[in-house]
A and B are shown apart, each in its own frame.
Chain A
Amino acid sequence: MKHVVAEVAAIPAGARHVTEAGGKRIVIYNLGGEFFALADRCPHQGASLSAGQIMGHVCSTAPGQYDYARRGEVVRCPWHAWEFDIRTGKSFFDPRRVKTRAYDAHVECGELLAAESFSVAVENSYVVVEV
């Protein structure tokens, strides 16, 4: 189901925004104009990912070599510091099995949303999430 979250201007690049849609708490991230939505609940012990630090991915090709990549695209749980990829919801330590639910988030123009009978301003653009 489509849920209109906010005007695009309300979630600037690098920011996060918490919303409730379909009875679920969802956190929306703006990565340089692209929007991503994750369930706001760590799969480990349930803390809010939205209260976690946004950081990059410390990676390494060999012991002793480090790189700091994907700046701003990783969220770290506020409790046990598990890291999740904001783009996919997958954890870095076990991406196949440990992940938080990711939802489709994108931008739609007010004109089309109004046509779908959402109450929005036709001249603005909105972040929407599919739940």
Chain B
Amino acid sequence: MNMMLANAKPASATLGLCDVDIHPRAQSRHAFDPWLSAEMRHRMHTYGLRPRHGYVRGTPFPKSQPLASRRDAWTPQGGSPASDLAFFREQHLDHYGIDVGLLNPLQPSGQGDTNDGFSAAMAHAVNEWQLAEWVVPEPRLRASIVVPYEDPEASAREIRKRAGNPRFSQVLLMSRTSMPLGNPRYWPIYEAAQEAGLPVGIHAFGYSGWAMTNGGWPSFYIEEVSEHATSCQSLLISMVVEGVFERFPRLKIVLIECGMAWLPSVAWRLDKIYPSLRCEVPHLKRKPSEYIRDHVWVSTQPIEEPERPEHLRDTMEWIGWDKILYASDYPHWDFDDPRLSIPNWLPAETRAAIYGGNARAVYGW
């Protein structure tokens, strides 16, 4: 078995340790049955999920390790990683002394499914499943509101259904969507999120129906995981220039598993071009970078590791020391140990903010 460093919370997590990216997994697709109608259960088990990527089974690229997971995260009984609350508590929450953990369910969540009705039914079922199986039994956990984001009106209904329930801490979207996320078609989601006072977490991946790079389908998984930077650039530029943040001034966006070092350069490019093209987007009242600095949070995993640490420090400083949140990505193969992934050359108070203070502020924990 894997011998991890002994149990301990990072010494500088003096404001608590919050993990904003945990991926719970259902033991089987029948796990959602109690909250699906008879029709939708039938659809699930007869036709299955229909993600927008060409009706093939599985993911577009082999993901480095089975189920994209740490090899030591399978349960002692051989169950899927993060499918058993007791083992998850022991290996993750207790091991690191995590005070608050945010769940981001991925497939089979039905997000981005080609069938809108099924996607909405699954979102409801996955949200109920998070409550029943995870968040109610384990008070350190919070749920994300899974929404059928390609049906924004249905998404807004799901958000309003959960609004005011403190067990839900954010609205969850994927980074790859059928249109750029700033498109007004998605605005009902932002309207409902702002109304509920909930941040919108945008997690890397998803199935858009489009190739994941601007130039078409890539050859390698390494291209897919590097592409998170570019797809997030597109969605963020879209949100800024469409005026999402003018229309929803209290909206908070948390970019999860998307990296961060690319963010300042995008803002600089937008600011560079804005004076020339301002009349094309007259609804913007401020420089593009100002919207980004005020409305965007980022999570650490997988943090860039440049040879010269000051390069990373400079980008973090631009993004804002109050905007960076620790994330583990448990149980996935590119998981980050909180004690080793947050650079030790940061001042102790900055590390305390990244470990817990910033997440408490943005999520109200």
Contacts and interface: CB of A to CB of B under 8 A. Distances in A.
A45 B337 contact: yes
Contacts of B340: 44-46
Given A52-B71, A78-B70, A47 B333 contact: no
A85 interface: no
B344 interface: no
Interface string A75-86: 000111100000
Contact of A81 (B3, B72, B333, B336): B333
Contacts of B335: 79-80
Interface in A1-54: 25, 40, 44-48, 50-53
A45 B4 CA distance: 9
Nearest to A79: B70
Interface in B105-148: none
Given A45-B341, A51-B71, A53-B71, A78 B334 contact: no
Nearest to B340: A45
A46 B71 contact: no
A2 to B, nearest CB: 24
B95 to A, nearest CB: 12
B59 interface: no
A80 B1 contact: no
A25 B5 CA distance: 12
Nearest to A52: B71
Contacts of A50: 2
B3 A79 contact: no
Interface residues of B, number: 17
B72 A47 contact: yes
- Secondary structure dominating the interface of B: loop
B65 interface: yes
Interface in B17-72: 64-65, 70-72
B71 A78 contact: yes
Contacts, number: 43
A34 B5 CA distance: 30
Contacts of B5: 46
Interface string A52-72: 110000000000000000000
A25 B3 contact: yes
A79 to B, nearest CB: 5
Contacts of A51: 1-3, 71-72
Contacts of B72: 47-48, 51, 78-79
B341 A79 contact: no
Interface in B316-360: 333-337, 340-341
A79 B334 CA distance: 7
A40 B72 CA distance: 15
A48 to B, nearest CB: 4
Contacts of A40: 3
A25 B72 CA distance: 18
Nearest to B335: A79
A51 B65 CA distance: 13
A47 B65 contact: no
B2 A78 contact: yes
Contacts of B341: 45
A45 to B, nearest CB: 5
B2 A47 contact: yes
Q: Most chain-B CB neighbours within 10 Å: which of A25, A52, A81?
A: A81
11 contacts: A44-B340, A45-B336, A45-B340, A45-B341, A46-B4, A47-B4, A50-B2, A79-B333, A80-B333, A80-B335, A81-B64
Given A48-B2, A51-B3, A79-B335, 20 more contacts: A44-B340, A46-B5, A46-B337, A47-B4, A48-B1, A48-B3, A48-B4, A48-B72, A51-B71, A78-B70, A78-B72, A79-B2, A79-B71, A79-B72, A79-B333, A80-B333, A80-B334, A80-B335, A81-B64, A81-B65
